[in-house]
Chains A and B, each alone.
Chain A
């Protein structure tokens, strides 16, 4: 079937290649009066005919017209211009129109186009220029800080970053909260967003709430992001655009580190000065609680090679660049994009190719992407066809630090497998990291690594690898019939799928008898391998699905990335009555989809030949597993739209859905929505042509949407193979630990939304404000139950949450380039989101969501709770009158929500002549952050926090001593017993959460784009029509509260599909700063 589909695409493309009609022509450029910029998409028609074209990306057009004819130039937001043709060139300057407010055409659900004034809900659009200003490789990153209520979370900065897009905060406790991604009217698997070339995007519409996306059904209860891709120009003349961009990235924010103290880790004995009790230098330690650096020469590690081998003497003083910073390099991203487009009003064709070559801050990491797409549109009388095919191939090679998917990446030390970053954080400031790089050198050999408990990070990146190959095809074919003026019928089929292949390998290590003999008797890494062999490892993972997801199975928990084939049939009835005053339309449709995922994994750690990674060449048994999942869904929907005189519009939708994840009795459910919009500035004569208030729209909507947070087959209990089985032919099965029920229902999201859109001063200032309130009932939650019920968890429909908030979007044109030569626009978007758990299981306890985050009745969610010190009523820490140490409170303390409550995006655009500067900044706040990274840095002693008191005894700041049942006196003189290892490592301080909890607030300078329009310098060129050069930067600066020693609050130890944020650890590489330049040429 897929093969046939491909052939069909190829045939369609050939058809399009027929020559377009050629005639004698008039050419010209259309520019706007307000900013002097060319306007693409202007309709140019010959007066009195239906013949017309549209301007291309540079505002240019070509049309065949009889001499003396009149051309009509029309574009929403501008006054229609009529120009009589007198010569071969017609350049037109269009004036902004005040009467055309709200006429912007917005693509809504199912690709239906509405004028903005008809919409009874909040939307936002992002133009391709805004999206790709700083050459993002993932569309989601281009949306950051640009839309109110839309939060993009970049959870880590690796070679294959995890990004999640959430609209209006979390509403489901444990289910999916991510926005639905829709491309050209059809939802795509969320994971494939990264495979779309951002340069192919024609525009992005954000449907913020459940009401606006109600037509998409259960998938869109979290709002939707509608992406329209380019279909080719309508300018009649072929256009070729080539763009090259090169960007560099550096780590922007290291945790604050101490560079005063070397290695000691509580060894005691000979490593403690008997007189002073101070720690002495320990040559093999990974913890930095030793003496201060003094520039003396010290022995590093054990003698090399044998007990009588050479001893490496190093200077006991920190390097100017810490080994931690020295490890990371500058990453380079180079993008080459080329696109070709041509077409006229009826037919169009677009083709693009992209290559992204990216190296990152971690040496050896690489991400290479190739993307190709073909899209177009062709009309044959009443019949038209629209097609799109985009293929993306991504090859990623990265280190595997064994912290993901339970794959043993590094050889296991006493302390367990360390993440790469954790190994790096264990490099004391005096370590000669240059000596670590050479695998043939001194410390490249795992036998001689000086640190007894850690491994050489260069060994990890050389010998423990993950290679990923992803092939993704997104394809669509839409057939449309317009038999009469009042009816459109269309049928659209889309098939989106990908193949994700991953190979994890780890090299065998052979330890020497000398290394195993453990020179210092420290219990070093090699002594754990008395056979001398730390085995190699190979794992192959294969998934047919969306091509990105890591799978849904028990062996690869993560984003279940399904492939998706869908057919949509739509009938659109529309007719105007009563002198076009009454505009009713009705859409009815049917949608059938199948989502499918299959994944397989094989692995072994018994390779026969060292360094030969193939599952056929192993000893022992192959570890193998497979899983497959199907979701089938049938939906019927209707959308009735009633418009009156362009100022009153009512829309009602209903959708019925039947889903295979639910049992037969619960399978079919309905969800309705109703929306109303009203334009008082048009309806009320007294408000018309007001000098101050140029436009006002009021809108309101209500909806109820179901959200199926039940995985396939999660309604009946199953049995799993008992651990160890089968033994020969003897099998064993055990009951699963989660109890399912066929009575499970979808979560029900009810939303009320109202708002206003106001434009002032001839639309130079516009304000769009929205309030929403969502209630989600039937939360589908795996409740932890006592194991004596037979199950550790029961999946139940319980509880209710509320999520409400305000969104404000303001844009203002302070100075217009047309009037002032200097253009200056300001914009801001703000959102405030309040979430609250209204009810949970009666008789139950707070619901644990993982990562120390909970749902607690009456509180926002997810809520961070954790250990704290015993405090007096004023909140001051109570310390022991003898040891000066704090003690831990028995109950957990509530710290706050872990998702930002406030999100403020601000932007400013300046333009002067041919130079423009765009700046985007973002603030997020109102949340807390549990810096798990602080725990690692306290363990290693590398964190600056641990050296605050110079490793001397000190009085615990703001502490009190309890002198009676309710009396506390300020502690002024009881020092902590030991200001070094004793306090920072052995007291309860390091095992308590509160020292590592900080505000999650930050300001980030997200994007800066300084671009130079070079068109005027190439005016004489025959084939070059436009050129732009830009200098770009992303994440240039980050400001966090002073108490945050550790890093970017945005990073999180959570999968993109998880709802947990605000908890980091050493599994995320630090935030990077990106800067570079690009050159774009149009032919």
Chain B
């Protein structure tokens, strides 16, 4: 009998002894790490921020490119009612809201974890600056957003919305704090190559932060010239601003490999196999912008658009042509222009976060408004100097003077010849010396702000379609066609002035969102809109 019990006992022992002590401890995920480093988070989050503004994860902001008359949609496709007729609902153009918050989550994590390690001060400061960069995009498109109660998933599942103005006010404070943190942490770890924007040059980050503060101030200036951001400009003016020699461009090492192309190229250019991407085929030259550049004798036209390949079988290579927005009678793609060689330079091109031209235009407007932005040697002394430096920076960036030769048989581009920076600079001087309103400074006398906005509209073509749209909503410039869309079913002759909150926000945070009130995208203003 005992023998049997022994055997039985052995059965059980064998079974239980089969387990190692940690048999049940499987917390470590073998597939994804549960820890990160400041370097890894920084590089990833900066690259994502650059992708959002350069065509996006899902062509974010492409609609603003159409509305600002850079592009129109292809005649090869069924018209898009949201794009052309402004039949917009909670699912139209809402992707940036999600992309931006996901991006901020990573910067927020970086800020929180770096704050506990004094040596990581530079990472903390960059994270604070980039949160401002992302949050401004959110506020400018949606107004009130969740801010003070955001990013606390274990305690607050339904964060309240903060007023747009209060978020703006705090963003300025964050920028000041970031600049001060960099200044008082000279011995902190340098982010090095994980800083894919300035390569660890913290002076660049201070200029970026200062330029963002300038943008926050100028944005409010039309409705409130003495806004708190504007009055705070003087405190950091000596740090200087981005310009033609220092601008904010990201490049982690883009190359012509699937998934690793520069985001603008990858979105609007051709894929690694040489076939055009969907937006390249879909977003075609807009006749309004083409005519505007022609009327200003603007040599950037051949940079912005390629010539059409064919029209009714005849080869007219080299001529940019397009449709107006929402045209009911549209041309097929061979008869319209696609994105040009000054925008699509190479699959490895930098992704612009904040261009030198934009910063200089902001400085020009600040100087025009009498804001205290001087103090650094690099800051232009006058509004005119800043304006002309901005145009020059744009000419160089867009490679004004680019020539393209076309295959006479097919009408397709055969070779692109880019000018030197000096050539583009010389063309800029010729250009802004013209006695044409909105081009020459003197010719725009007493309408200088209009000229600045017009030129900013031209300078920001392609890369950053959001900013010209916001500036249009602030200033009313450029004057767009009326009605802006030729689509006969358009529900409004004018552009929407803001965005709807996404459907996801309605279903996940509806009670809080209800407190924001009813949104009408044609009448519910963001606080800085006049």
Query: Does B415 sit at the interface, judged by CB under 8 A?
Result: no
Query: Smallest CB–CB gap between A528 and chain B, Å?
Result: 7
- Within the complex, which residue of B23, B255, B510 is in contact with A845, where a contact is CB–CB below 8 Å? B510
Judging by beta carbons under 8 Å apart, are A489 and B76 in contact? Answer: no
Q: When each residue 658-672 of chain A gets 1 if its CB lies under 8 Å from chain B and 0 otherwise, what string results? A: 111101100100000
Known contacts A658-B24, A786-B505, A845-B508; A727 and B260 CB within 8 A of each other: yes
Judging by beta carbons under 8 Å apart, are A528 and B275 in contact? Answer: yes
Judging by beta carbons under 8 Å apart, are B509 and A786 in contact? Answer: yes
Judging by beta carbons under 8 Å apart, are A786 and B40 in contact? Answer: no
Query: Does B368 sit at the interface, judged by CB under 8 A?
Result: no
Residue of B nearest to A718 (CB): B32
- Which residues of A in the span 506-533 have a Cβ within 8 Å of any Cβ on B? 518, 521-523, 527-531, 533
Judging by beta carbons under 8 Å apart, are B27 and A713 in contact? Answer: yes
Residue of B nearest to A632 (CB): B23
Judging by beta carbons under 8 Å apart, are B31 and A628 in contact? Answer: yes
Query: Does B26 sit at the interface, judged by CB under 8 A?
Result: yes
Judging by beta carbons under 8 Å apart, are B252 and A663 in contact? Answer: no
Residue of A nearest to B110 (CB): A735
Query: Does A882 sit at the interface, judged by CB under 8 A?
Result: no
Q: Which B residues are in CB contact (< 8 Å) with A620?
A: 257-258, 272
Judging by beta carbons under 8 Å apart, are A491 and B24 in contact? Answer: no
Cα A621 to Cα B252 with chains together (Å): 17
Cα A507 to Cα B313 with chains together (Å): 32
Judging by beta carbons under 8 Å apart, are A606 and B273 in contact? Answer: yes
30 A-B contacts, Cβ less than 8 Å apart? A481-B7, A489-B7, A523-B76, A531-B275, A567-B15, A606-B272, A620-B257, A627-B31, A632-B26, A633-B24, A658-B24, A659-B24, A664-B24, A664-B25, A716-B34, A718-B34, A723-B259, A727-B254, A730-B193, A730-B252, A732-B43, A786-B157, A787-B97, A787-B98, A788-B159, A789-B150, A789-B159, A790-B151, A841-B157, A844-B157
Q: Which B residues are in CB contact (< 8 Å) with A481?
A: 4, 7-8
Q: Which B residues are in CB contact (< 8 Å) with A732?
A: 40-41, 43-45, 47, 252
Known contacts A733-B33, A786-B504, A788-B101; A523 and B8 CB within 8 A of each other: no
Q: Which A residues are in CB contact (< 8 Å) with B108?
A: 790
Query: Smallest CB–CB gap between A324 and chain B, Å?
Result: 25
Cα A843 to Cα B25 with chains together (Å): 35
Q: Please give 7 more A-B residue pairs, beta carbons under 8 A apart, in addition to A626-B31, A719-B33.
A: A484-B4, A605-B273, A725-B43, A739-B154, A786-B504, A789-B159, A790-B101
Judging by beta carbons under 8 Å apart, are B252 and A725 in contact? Answer: yes
Query: Does B156 sit at the interface, judged by CB under 8 A?
Result: yes
Q: When each residue 182-200 of chain B gets 1 if its CB lies under 8 Å from chain A and 0 otherwise, what string results? A: 0000000000011010000
Cα A568 to Cα B51 with chains together (Å): 54
Query: Does A630 sit at the interface, judged by CB under 8 A?
Result: yes
Cα A482 to Cα B154 with chains together (Å): 55
Judging by beta carbons under 8 Å apart, are A529 and B275 in contact? Answer: yes
Judging by beta carbons under 8 Å apart, are A660 and B333 in contact? Answer: no
Query: Smallest CB–CB gap between B218 and chain A, Å?
Result: 26
User: A-B pairs with CB below 8 Å: how many?
Assistant: 256
Query: Smallest CB–CB gap between B329 and chain A, Å?
Result: 9
Q: Which B residues are in CB contact (< 8 Å) with A534?
A: 275
Known contacts A606-B273, A788-B150, A789-B150; A848 and B507 CB within 8 A of each other: yes
Judging by beta carbons under 8 Å apart, are A719 and B23 in contact? Answer: no
Residues of A within 8 A of B (CB): 266, 382, 414, 481, 483-484, 487, 489-491, 518, 521-523, 527-531, 533-535, 553, 567-569, 571, 590, 592, 605-606, 620-621, 623, 626-634, 658-661, 663-664, 667, 712-713, 715-725, 727-728, 730-737, 739, 741, 783-792, 794, 841, 843-846, 848
Judging by beta carbons under 8 Å apart, are B36 and A521 in contact? Answer: no
Query: Smallest CB–CB gap between A836 and chain B, Å?
Result: 21
Query: Does B29 sit at the interface, judged by CB under 8 A?
Result: yes
Q: Which B residues are in CB contact (< 8 Å) with A527?
A: 333
Query: Does B276 sit at the interface, judged by CB under 8 A?
Result: yes
Judging by beta carbons under 8 Å apart, are A789 and B253 in contact? Answer: no
Query: Does B295 sit at the interface, judged by CB under 8 A?
Result: no
- Which residues of B in the span 333-366 have a Cβ within 8 Å of any Cβ on A? 333-334
Q: Which B residues are in CB contact (< 8 Å) with A414?
A: 76-77
Known contacts A531-B273, A627-B31; A845 and B507 CB within 8 A of each other: yes
Judging by beta carbons under 8 Å apart, are A590 and B15 in contact? Answer: yes
Judging by beta carbons under 8 Å apart, are B157 and A789 in contact? Answer: yes
Q: Which A residues are in CB contact (< 8 Å) with B391?
A: none
Residue of B nearest to A568 (CB): B15
Cα A7 to Cα B252 with chains together (Å): 55
Q: Which A residues are in CB contact (< 8 Å) with B510?
A: 845
Q: When each residue 1-15 of chain B gets 1 if its CB lies under 8 Å from chain A and 0 otherwise, what string results? A: 101100110011011
Cα A483 to Cα B4 with chains together (Å): 6
Judging by beta carbons under 8 Å apart, are B157 and A785 in contact? Answer: yes
Residue of B nearest to A667 (CB): B24
Judging by beta carbons under 8 Å apart, are B34 and A719 in contact? Answer: yes
Known contacts A658-B24, A723-B259; A734 and B44 CB within 8 A of each other: yes
Query: Smallest CB–CB gap between A855 and chain B, Å?
Result: 13
Judging by beta carbons under 8 Å apart, are A733 and B153 in contact? Answer: no
Q: Which B residues are in CB contact (< 8 Å) with A792?
A: 98, 102, 504
Judging by beta carbons under 8 Å apart, are B40 and A731 in contact? Answer: yes
Query: Smallest CB–CB gap between B237 and chain A, Å?
Result: 33
Query: Does B482 sit at the interface, judged by CB under 8 A?
Result: no
Residue of B nearest to A784 (CB): B508
- Within the complex, which residue of A521, A531, A734, A789 is in contact with B334, where a contact is CB–CB below 8 Å? A521
Residue of A nearest to B13 (CB): A569
Cα A730 to Cα B39 with chains together (Å): 9
Judging by beta carbons under 8 Å apart, are A661 and B26 in contact? Answer: yes
Judging by beta carbons under 8 Å apart, are B18 and A567 in contact? Answer: yes
3 smallest A-B Cβ distances: which pairs? A732-B44, A722-B44, A523-B76
Known contacts A713-B27, A735-B106; A533 and B273 CB within 8 A of each other: yes
Query: Does B332 sit at the interface, judged by CB under 8 A?
Result: yes
Judging by beta carbons under 8 Å apart, are B275 and A786 in contact? Answer: no
Query: Smallest CB–CB gap between A493 and chain B, Å?
Result: 9
Query: Does B485 sit at the interface, judged by CB under 8 A?
Result: no
Judging by beta carbons under 8 Å apart, are A727 and B253 in contact? Answer: yes
Cα A535 to Cα B76 with chains together (Å): 23
- Within the complex, which residue of B30, B77, B252, B274 is in contact with A531, where a contact is CB–CB below 8 Å? B274
Query: Does B214 sit at the interface, judged by CB under 8 A?
Result: no
Q: Which B residues are in CB contact (< 8 Å) with A529?
A: 275
Q: Which B residues are in CB contact (< 8 Å) with A569?
A: 11-12, 14-15
Judging by beta carbons under 8 Å apart, are B43 and A630 in contact? Answer: no
Q: Which A residues are in CB contact (< 8 Å) with B28?
A: 713
Judging by beta carbons under 8 Å apart, are B152 and A789 in contact? Answer: yes
Query: Smallest CB–CB gap between B273 and chain A, Å?
Result: 5
Query: Smallest CB–CB gap between A761 and chain B, Å?
Result: 49
Judging by beta carbons under 8 Å apart, are B18 and A592 in contact? Answer: yes
Query: Smallest CB–CB gap between B20 and chain A, Å?
Result: 10
Residue of B nearest to A660 (CB): B26
Residue of A nearest to B46 (CB): A732
Q: When each residue 44-77 of chain B gets 1 if its CB lies under 8 Å from chain A and 0 otherwise, what string results? A: 1101100100000100000000000000001011
Q: Which A residues are in CB contact (< 8 Å) with B23?
A: 632, 634, 660
Query: Smallest CB–CB gap between B527 and chain A, Å?
Result: 19
- Within the complex, which residue of A722, A737, A786, A788 is in contact with B47, where a contact is CB–CB below 8 Å? A722
Q: Which B residues are in CB contact (< 8 Å) with A628?
A: 30-31
Residue of A nearest to B138 (CB): A788
Judging by beta carbons under 8 Å apart, are B158 and A843 in contact? Answer: yes
Cα A731 to Cα B276 with chains together (Å): 28
Q: Which B residues are in CB contact (< 8 Å) with A720?
A: 32
- Which residues of B in the span 98-145 have a Cβ within 8 Å of any Cβ on A? 98, 101-102, 105-106, 108-109, 145
Judging by beta carbons under 8 Å apart, are B77 and A523 in contact? Answer: yes
Query: Does B374 sit at the interface, judged by CB under 8 A?
Result: no
Cα A667 to Cα B27 with chains together (Å): 12
- Within the complex, which residue of A489, A717, A741 is in contact with B11, where a contact is CB–CB below 8 Å? A489
Query: Smallest CB–CB gap between A44 and chain B, Å?
Result: 32
Cα A786 to Cα B35 with chains together (Å): 24
Q: Which A residues are in CB contact (< 8 Å) with B18?
A: 567, 592
Q: Which A residues are in CB contact (< 8 Å) with B11?
A: 489-491, 569
Judging by beta carbons under 8 Å apart, are B151 and A484 in contact? Answer: no
Cα A718 to Cα B152 with chains together (Å): 16
